[in-house]
Amino acid sequence: MLCSAHRSSVRYLRQSLSATRTYHDESYGFRKPRSFLLPDYSLAQLQNRVINAPLLRYVESLRIHGHRAARIDPLDLLQREDVDALDPRRYGLMDDSKKYDINGVIWTKPVGEAPDEPVYWTLRDITNHLRSVYVGRIAYEYMHSPFKTERLWFSHILESSTPTLPTLSQKKHIHQILAQSETFDQFLQLKFPNLKRYGLEGGESMIPALDTLFSLAARAGVQHVVLAMPHRGRLNLLTGLLKMSPASLFHKIKGGYEIPEELGAVGDVISHLVASPTLDYEGTDVKISLLPNPSHLEAVGPVALGKTRAKQYALLNSSPEDCMLGDKVMCVQLHGDASFTGQGVVMETLGLSILLRSIGYTTPASSARSSLYCSDIGKMINAPVLHVNGDYPEDVERAVDVAFQYRHYFRKDVIIDLLVYRRWKVVPVKWGHNELDEPAFTQPLMYEKIRSRKSVPTLYEEQLISDDVITRADAQAVRVAARDRLDAELVQSERHTPCAQMLQGQWRGIVWPADEMAERDPSTGMAVEVLEKVGRASVTVPSGFEVHPRLQRHVKNRLQAIEKGAGLDWATAEAMAFGSLMLEGCDVRISGQDVGRGTFSQRHAMLVDQKTETVVVPLNTALASKGKLELANSSLSELAVLGFEYGMSWEGPNLLPIWEAQFGDFFNGAQVIIDTFISSAETKWLKQSGIVLLLPHGLDGAGPEHSSSRIERMLQAELLTNDPFEPTYTRTNVNMHVAFPTTPAQYFHLLRRQIKRNFRKPLVVAAPKGLLRLPAASSLLSELEEPHTFQPVLRDPLVEARLADRIILVSGKLYYDLVKEREVRGLRERVAIIRLEELCPFPFEALGRVLGGARDVRWVQEEPRNQGGWMHVSARAARVLETPLVYHGRVEDAVPAPGVGQLYRVEQEGVVKEAFDEL
């Protein structure tokens, strides 16, 4: 599938009357899509379609069902039934020599040209022509489209033109890249016979397919292609089309680093390597960025789309108004057939209305899916599908050409289903899923066929020799030259020195997080006049705009808090963080379910007119800043949406990307992205990210699955963070930050810190629910001013810890319950309550300064003992305290919180009261 990574025109048309959709179309990089119209049927054509209704039914059946009889399977293993719908006699068409007027029935002119005069063909000519189009080595599925214009476009372009045959030089070029591809895999097998390299044998047509695609894209004005693919054929593509040095690959295969060792990163396996070359096609350049990916199949898909979306927006900023999304950037995704069908993230990703490119491999349909084709899932977004036989490279290039024309014309999703297979035997070697596998254990008949076949490059080579395009000596020379080059690169690999290119282009000015130049605690406070300006702008309603009556109080309360300089709630501090960053030229994007309003109806960053349903985002309309705020109210997807936002964070450091889970528990659905990208991309791939995860956390009587952001999962060293257990004298470079702030001011500084640092780190925030409107949890305007910054540890404002009889350590909202209980018991001067606002990296130094020589220190949490921050904190606090840290909280449990309200209240009261026992 080819991808332009923007909301599909299908959804544009369906929701053209939606005010929210209008906002997304025309703000923050979205532009109104082009209209696509083809001439409709003339009166004469309509009359002829009625007169020749049986012929029309026959032609439509070929368009709809031709793919079922097409010769698209190189192994001829697809169970092809006789397709009675393709027999003209079923429609009463008995005489092959009878002539019919095809005007308005078959399209014989190019797109946009609609002849309006009789054109007579015999039934035999009609059948031969349409079968050559629809029942050949390329099969088309486009009649399921609900849009007549798209159906007409395909009929025009397929039926009116004779495919242009490649020139002699083009045929030689196809042969060259095929032969080089095969030589590369044979070389690796010879030199590294025990290597799992996931070769491309049997699927070599992928290389000319991508080469054609990149060439077409370059000539069409596409400047950048973001490429995502799994492991199959990756090394072949890297060292071939993408110009990666084979010496660097051989160095890695032999156990060397692919990145400078002094950076302290650990790298990744060879099947996840990347390259970002600029390719020259006849004097026109196109940049290709192959993204790193984990072995979790398809997880990189939404990441690639997010990066594409961010890159498109950046280019639109400097482009004329007639430039649309997809004009300059294209996302291309490659998939194996079984993973495309089987991985749920594919459906989630398609639900974002984005485009993919499907590459099929040899998994029997009966073992992989219930549908006929792996590509059938793409029909959920009405994407056309082109199936093509991978044994015929010239047909593959033709399919790519048609697909790209469609994508370039409509800027919409299209799938290419390239049917290929995995070679099983190249004497004396045999392999299946990987080169150390034996596929015949479970697929004996398939691999019996594969064993008897010549390779795709060999078949094409023999065809060109037979057609006198090349000589056998020419063919041999191509392979010898490729082998000689690889031999030289193998020798060169002994002297290869890896280099790092992670801080180029838009990342210039950003430093490596472990560098001595890294600023951990930059100034984040703002001048009071700026804060007041932003605060007022955030609730500025245009003249004549009618907000909901209940939101009038929201506007009034915010303005009053700004006027008083006190009582700033969570949403106000957030708006001030967003707006102040926007004034500094930073873009802010927050996505998730109902983020414009906020899950708890607290944000209201976008307002809807109660009469017209038009939408306004006050920070965009009233602030007049260079930076923009995008509120992406996303679908019910965690994995794909978080992946998309994470991909946006890769594109550049001048964006604050935020994903807000509706409840903290819901990040479970996105765990793959957190495990394999967010927590480890810096260590594996030298990729920095400033992504923020807002995970609403707090038991609050909400039951097992609306309570916990699983703080313990984010913190435990064996799972996600690499926070050291011992205080170190060197600069600790943890992989991600985990915070549990208790005041709006702290949240304000956290958000600004993400951008003001000269490096980027993922940030997980255990976000509030009950604190959003709690008066005790409000902040002063002055706490957002300079020189205030985020504090990882907050002292008790009422009592010095060194003078207290007991010190309670706590994170999050439980602090306010403890303060209330302390007041009830009259223990204000005897108990100090210290807040641990940042759990990772663990604030050894700050906590040590606050605690001094304290002896009676208790950790209190509302989560069960096997959850929350206890395990993380206790192991590290022991390095600061003179006595063991005592635990107070719920006992171990299999769930985060009980679902019985009465039980919750009893447990919660017990946790709070137990903290003050024996005083």
Specify the pLDDT at position 449. Answer: 63
Instruction: Report whether pLDDT(497) > 80.
Output: yes
66 within 8 A of 135, measured Cβ to Cβ: yes
Percent of the chain scoring above 70 in pLDDT:
89
Spatial separation of the C-alpha atoms in residues 501 and 266, rounded to whole Å: 16
Spatial separation of the C-alpha atoms in residues 356 and 348, rounded to whole Å: 13
At how many degrees (to 10) do helices 472-492 and 456-466 cross? 140
* Helix, strand, coil % over all residues of the chain, rounded to 5: 40, 15, 45
Q: What letter would DSSP give residue 568?
A: B
Specify the pLDDT at position 338. Answer: 78
Q: What letter would DSSP give residue 674?
A: I
When mean pLDDT is compared across 363-367, 658-662, 841-845, the lowest value belongs to 363-367
Percent of the chain scoring above 90 in pLDDT:
70
Higher model confidence: residue 261 or residue 653?
A: 653
575: left (phi over 0), alpha (psi -120 to 50) or beta: alpha
Instruction: Report whether pLDDT(8) > 80.
Output: no
Counting every residue written for the chain, the total comes to 919
Higher model confidence: residue 486 or residue 425?
A: 486
- SS3 string, 707-769, reads CCCCHHHHHCCCCCCCCCCCCCCCCCCCCCEEECCCCHHHHHHHHHHHHHCCCCCCEEEEECC
Specify the pLDDT at position 350. Answer: 82
When mean pLDDT is compared across 37-51, 130-144, 362-376, 423-437, the lowest value belongs to 423-437
Q: Which of 902, 901, 873 shows the shortest CA–CA distance to 886?
A: 873
DSSP-derived 3-state class of residue 480: helix
pTM exceeding the 0.95 threshold for the entire prediction: no
DSSP-derived 3-state class of residue 643: helix
* pLDDT band (50, 70, 90) for residue 448: low
DSSP-derived 3-state class of residue 101: strand
Q: CB atoms < 10 A from the CB of 544, how many? A: 8
Q: Which of 249, 250, 190, 235 shows the shortest CA–CA distance to 426?
A: 190
- SS3 string, 856-876, reads CEEEEEEEECCCCCHHHHHHH
Q: CB atoms < 10 A from the CB of 479, how many? A: 17
Spatial separation of the C-alpha atoms in residues 307 and 648, rounded to whole Å: 4
Specify the pLDDT at position 316. Answer: 74
* pLDDT tens digits, 678-736: 999 999 999 999 999 999 999 999 999 999 999 999 987 445 788 888 887 556 789 99
Specify the pLDDT at position 451. Answer: 65
396 within 8 A of 207, measured Cβ to Cβ: no
243: left (phi over 0), alpha (psi -120 to 50) or beta: left
Q: Which of 401, 5, 411 shows the shortest CA–CA distance to 225?
A: 5
* pLDDT tens digits, 117-173: 899 999 999 999 999 999 999 999 999 999 999 999 999 999 987 778 899 999 999
Strands 415-419 and 224-228: unpaired
Specify the pLDDT at position 82. Answer: 82
Q: Which of 535, 541, 545, 529 shows the shortest CA–CA distance to 621?
A: 541
* pLDDT band (50, 70, 90) for residue 441: low
The answer for residues whose C-beta is within 8 angstroms of residue 106's C-beta and 6 or more apart is 59, 121, 126, 129, 130, 155, 159
Specify the pLDDT at position 14. Answer: 30
Q: What are phi and psi of 795, to 5 degrees?
A: -65, 160
Q: CB atoms < 10 A from the CB of 719, how many? A: 13
Higher model confidence: residue 343 or residue 749?
A: 749
Residue 764's DSSP bridge partners are 693, 738
Mean pLDDT of the chain: 88
Instruction: Report whether pLDDT(26) > 90.
Output: no
**DSSP code string of 525-549:** ---HHHHHHHHHHTTPPPTT----H
The string over 33-72, giving b where at least 16 C-beta atoms fall within 10 Å of a residue's C-beta and e elsewhere, is: beeeebeebeeebeebbeebeebbebbbbbbbbbbbbbbb
When mean pLDDT is compared across 216-220, 309-313, 371-375, 577-581, the lowest value belongs to 371-375
* pLDDT band (50, 70, 90) for residue 444: low
Longest alpha-carbon distance in the chain: 107
Specify the pLDDT at position 721. Answer: 80
601: left (phi over 0), alpha (psi -120 to 50) or beta: left
Specify the pLDDT at position 9. Answer: 29
* pLDDT tens digits, 737-746: 999 999 999 9
Spatial separation of the C-alpha atoms in residues 668 and 68, rounded to whole Å: 40
Specify the pLDDT at position 359. Answer: 42
The C-alpha torsion from 824 through 829 and 831 to 834, rounded to 10°, is: 110
* pLDDT band (50, 70, 90) for residue 533: very high
* pLDDT band (50, 70, 90) for residue 676: very high
Burial of 157 (0-12, 13-18, 19+ CB in 10 A): middle
* pLDDT band (50, 70, 90) for residue 111: low
181 within 8 A of 237, measured Cβ to Cβ: no
* pLDDT tens digits, 347-389: 788 877 544 334 444 444 444 456 788 888 888 889 999 999 9
Specify the pLDDT at position 732. Answer: 74
* pLDDT band (50, 70, 90) for residue 887: very high
643 within 8 A of 589, measured Cβ to Cβ: no
- In this prediction, residues 15-32 reach a mean pLDDT of 48
Instruction: Report whether pLDDT(437) > 60.
Output: no
Q: Which of 477, 480, 893 shows the shortest CA–CA distance to 708?
A: 893
Specify the pLDDT at position 17. Answer: 34
202: left (phi over 0), alpha (psi -120 to 50) or beta: left
Specify the pLDDT at position 320. Answer: 74
Burial of 529 (0-12, 13-18, 19+ CB in 10 A): exposed
Highest mean pLDDT among 203-217, 256-270, 444-458: 203-217
Strands 607-608 and 615-616: antiparallel
When mean pLDDT is compared across 9-13, 421-425, 533-537, 538-542, the lowest value belongs to 9-13
Q: CB atoms < 10 A from the CB of 346, how many? A: 24
Q: Mark out the alpha helices in 276-377 (DSSP H runs).
A: 300-316, 337-342, 344-350, 365-368
* pLDDT band (50, 70, 90) for residue 114: low
Spatial separation of the C-alpha atoms in residues 132 and 136, rounded to whole Å: 6
- In this prediction, residues 541-568 reach a mean pLDDT of 94
Helices (H) and strands (E) in the chain, counts: 31, 27
168 within 8 A of 469, measured Cβ to Cβ: yes
Spatial separation of the C-alpha atoms in residues 845 and 849, rounded to whole Å: 6
Spatial separation of the C-alpha atoms in residues 105 and 93, rounded to whole Å: 15
* pLDDT band (50, 70, 90) for residue 42: confident
Instruction: Report whether pLDDT(464) > 90.
Output: yes
Highest mean pLDDT among 9-18, 320-329, 538-547: 538-547
The string over 220-250, giving b where at least 16 C-beta atoms fall within 10 Å of a residue's C-beta and e elsewhere, is: bebbbbbbbbbbbbbbbbbbbbbebebbbbb
Q: Which of 636, 615, 629 shows the shortest CA–CA distance to 18?
A: 615
When mean pLDDT is compared across 307-316, 657-666, 759-768, 898-907, the lowest value belongs to 307-316
DSSP-derived 3-state class of residue 313: helix
- In this prediction, residues 638-660 reach a mean pLDDT of 94
Q: Which of 576, 570, 599, 598 shows the shortest CA–CA distance to 588?
A: 576
Q: CB atoms < 10 A from the CB of 98, how many? A: 12
The answer for residues whose C-beta is within 8 angstroms of residue 845's C-beta and 6 or more apart is 727
Instruction: Report whether pLDDT(484) > 70.
Output: yes
- In this prediction, residues 294-313 reach a mean pLDDT of 90
The string over 253-289, giving b where at least 16 C-beta atoms fall within 10 Å of a residue's C-beta and e elsewhere, is: beebbbbeeebebebbebbbbbbbeebeeeeeebbbb
Q: Which of 399, 404, 446 shows the shortest CA–CA distance to 418?
A: 399
* pLDDT band (50, 70, 90) for residue 18: very low
When mean pLDDT is compared across 617-621, 633-637, 790-794, the lowest value belongs to 633-637
Spatial separation of the C-alpha atoms in residues 370 and 342, rounded to whole Å: 10
Instruction: Report whether pLDDT(432) > 50.
Output: no
Q: Which of 329, 302, 312 shows the shortest CA–CA distance to 644?
A: 302
What letter represents residue 454's amino acid?
K
